[in-house]
Every structure is written in C-alpha cells, then in structure tokens.
Amino acid sequence: MKRTFVTAVTAATAGLESCATSRATWISVVAVAAALGVVASGARSQPSQTPAQQPPTPQPPPQQPTDISTIISGEATAAPRFAVPDFIAGSNDAETVSVAKTIAQVLWDDLNFERDFALIPRDIYSTIPAAKSFDDVPFDRWRELNADGVVVGIVQKTGNGVRVEVRLFNVRSRQSAFGKEYSGSAANPRLYAHTISDELHQQQRALRGVARTKLTFASDRDGERMRGMVENRGVKEIYIADYDGENQRRVTTSRSLNITPAWSPDARSIAYTSYQKGGPNIYISNIYQGTRDDLTKDVGQNFLPAWSPDGTRLCFMSTRDGNSELYVVNRDGSNLRRLTTHPGIDVSPTWSPSGTQIAFTSDRTGTPQIYLIGADGLGLQKVTSEAYADRPTWSPAPYNEIAFTARTGPGNDIKVIDLATRQVRQLTFGEGTNESPSWSPNGRHLAFMSTRSGKSQVFTMARDGKNLKQVTQAGNNSQPDWSK
C-alpha cells in the first residue's frame, strides 16, 4: 500500500495520514486534506459569479516623468539613511490632511520592507521643524539625525481628486535626487505610497519593489457552511489582499470549498480548485472582468493549477486517467497533454522562470520528494532527499532556487534548495507548522502559512527568514500565492 503523504496540521489530518490506503482512498484523502486547508500532496467560458466586493483595477495614478535622477549613498558601505516625514497638506480640509499622513506612513513601511534603506524611525521626527514647501526643508536638522536622504511630499486638492508631488532630497548636497508628480482619486492614498516606493526602489537601487503586488489565499473567515453537503463543514473562499495585508477582499462567493489559488502572470486572473459542483475542478476567475472559465469540466479530480511564466498554459494534477498525474493545458482548455506517467503520485507543479522545466512532488521512490521534469516530459531528475518534501515553488530570476515544505518533526518547516549547488537552508524552525511557500516577484520574500499564532494564518518573511510579518488575522487562511 502506498503511504499517504498529507501534511499533518490537525489531529484529524494526522489520523488520515496514519492510515494505509488504496489508490482510490488516497485521492479521497487528498480531497479531504485540501478541504481542511492542509498542505497535502499538492493542490494548485461561462459567466462567473460576481464577487461580493469586486476590487477596482489597480492602476497607478497618472504621473509625470522623473525630473532629476541621482543616487544617494550611505556612509562607507552602509545603507543610506532615509527619513519620511508627514507629507505637507496643501489645504486644511480633513481629507487632504488624512491623505498626506497616510501616504507618508505607508511609504515609510513600504521602503522599510525591502531593507535596502535604513529608515529613521518616525517617532523622533517631532524634534525636526516641519517643512511648509520644497524650499524650506531643514537640512541641517536632518543631518543631526544622520539622514542621507529625506522624502518630502505635498498633497494638493484638485477639482476631482488630489495631486501628489514628491521629492527625495540628498541631505548633504540639498539637491533633489528623485522627483515625481501624481494625480488621481483620493479614495486610495495607499496606492500613491506603493507607487512612490516601487519607483524609488527602481531609481535608487535598480530593484523591482513589491509594494503594488498582491496576495491571494483561501479563507474560512465567513463562517458559512458548505452548500449541498451533509457534513457540517465550513466553506473556504478565495481572497486577495495588498502585499502588506491591507484591502482584503473576497473573490469567490460559491459557498463551497475553493482552495489553492494561483495568480496569472499579469495579475488579472486567479486559477483555483473548487468543489462547487461536488468534485474538485479547476476554474479561472477573471477578477476584474467578473467572468469565470471552467478549465477541467468534471473530467476526473483536478487540483493545484500552476501558470506558465507567459500565462498561456497551466500545469495541474488530475486523476482523469485513473492515477494522479500532471497535465499541461492551454489557458482556454485546448491542447491537453499528459506530462508524467508513473504509478506513483505526482502533484504540486511549479514552473521554472524560463518555462522549460516543471518541479513537482512525487512519492515514486517511497516518500514524497521534489523532482524536476522538462516541460516536454523529458529529463526527469530527483532534487530533494528529505524525510518529506512537498509544495515546491520556483524562485524568479536571478535566483535559481526552490522553496518547499519539509517535515522536520511533528510539524513542517520552510526550506530552500539552491538548484546549482543543491545546498539546502532552513528558514523556519518549529514555531507551529509552516507550509505552502510562495515567492515574491523579485525573489526577496516568501509568503507562507503558519500556525505559530494559533490558527492558520498567512505570513511573509525575507528570503533569509528574517522580517517576519503576519498578513491575515480573521479566521483560518492558507495556501497563499504572490502576484507576479
């Protein structure tokens, strides 16, 4: 009998794992484990249901070209020290004042997240006289705090919104090193901050920031019960949120199990597994168009969709031919072809950045391990030799690494393997169970699920395991995926 490889998060799932099962039972266990939100062995046109709150298209406000471009450096090899005081409100009305404060606070957080700048804490800014314009910045006082750069912004009310002007000044030379102007609605001041942060990182550090990226995940927070089922089991719906956990919004409203969401490369669609019609099928929710595509159409049990880097294909696990195998299909459901052929269980696909290889989990040698295979089905090779390894996620360039879930005792932890050297490093160390890693698009951060705070919640951390942040709070939240 094949050993069931389902990640143990709860006593219930541990009970499932201890049973020797037949092939048919194993597939049922996968379905139950996925329904419970556990990292099991894997799990990634018709009008759609309309989301309860359909998020607006995340377009950055219109902007003017950069007027000056110089790089600010720190002392010796140290990171440059930046200050981000409250932006100047061009009028005293409550909305403009609120927008100015929000942009500055969120911008500080965004810049601090990447750790490329040393951000001076905002609670000591009260000792520095507030500037009233770009012409009266107290550079001498900022030098007393050893600031290398200071970000100054002005928010002006316009007829139909606001205009935001921002400058990054070199405190030593008193010259502007970065300057932009944005105009648009005042409804989402956080977006101005995210846009400024990403453009500052690009201009100052040649770094693609993640402030405008989003997370998607499965959540049971709504406390509903599954429609059309006898079991008294809570449903899961797909949610999205900003990278920092703000603006969490529900995407699906099917009152069924909706799990393993995956962003398309253009961040406008989410593929996911749903039990809406009874068995697990893969759907694509085009979240800004309000439509949904049924990719697998009730043929077998289907889990764990993974997008190719160019967004034209998906790889997924299916039992349509009797065994759990990987398949590749075009985004429109055409040109389906089988990728793996083995009596073992093959699940959890993830594409290489080039789109030429796919990593996946298989128990073909006994215990679940990570394998590589060419997108053409050739060149199979084993990657890990862990007690248990599952849910691989391939890092973006320039890194060439795979993060995965590894069993390290009673629970699981996140590990990363360098594909060139095959060296493995561990990022989490037994605080709860830690599963389902997903890389940020710049490869500097990981989102993952952890039970360290009690319930299952989504966290982010830096690629070195530091800078841990909890993203979700309500309900149980799992299986995060970071937009590209």
Residue 375 pLDDT class (50, 70, 90 cuts): very high
Q: What is the mean pLDDT of residues 273-287?
A: 95
pLDDT in tens, 97-135: 999 999 999 999 999 999 999 999 999 999 999 999 999
What does the pLDDT read at residue 94? 95
Share the mean pLDDT of the chain.
87
- Would you say residue 237 has pLDDT above 90? yes
DSSP helix/strand/coil, 165 = strand
Query: DSSP string of 349-373?
Result: EEE-TTSSEEEEEE-TTSS-EEEEE
Closest CA to 439 of 410, 397, 390, 481: 481
Does residue 363 surpass a pLDDT of 50?
yes
Per-residue tokens: 284: 């694509």
Residue 77 has a pLDDT of 86
What would the pLDDT profile of 446-478 be if each residue is shown by its tens digit?
999 999 999 999 999 999 999 999 999 999 999
**With 90 as the cut, is the pLDDT of residue 41 above it?**
no
- Domains with residue ranges and CATH for the chain: 2-54+212-482 (2.120.10.30), 81-205 (3.40.50.10070)
* DSSP state letter for 226: -
Q: What is the DSSP letter of 151?
A: E
Q: What is the mean pLDDT of residues 436-455?
A: 97
pLDDT in tens, 142-194: 999 999 999 999 999 998 899 999 999 999 999 999 999 999 999 999 999 99
Instruction: Reply yes or no on whether the pLDDT at 69 is more than 60.
Output: no
pLDDT (average), residues 347-361: 98
Band of residue 229 on the pLDDT scale cut at 50, 70, 90: low
Contact 33, 40 (CB under 8 A): yes
The CA distance from 168 to 107, in Å, is 12
H helix intervals, 241-324 = none
Reported as a pLDDT band with limits 50, 70 and 90, residue 56 is very low
User: pLDDT at position 223, please?
Assistant: 80
Phi, psi of 364 (to 5 degrees): -65, -20
- Residue 184's pLDDT is what? 95
Mean pLDDT to the nearest integer, 204-209: 97
**In the predicted structure, residue 233 carries a pLDDT above the cut 80:** no
- Model pTM? 0.86
- The share of the chain scoring above pLDDT 90, in percent, equals 80
Give me the pLDDT at residue 84, please: 98
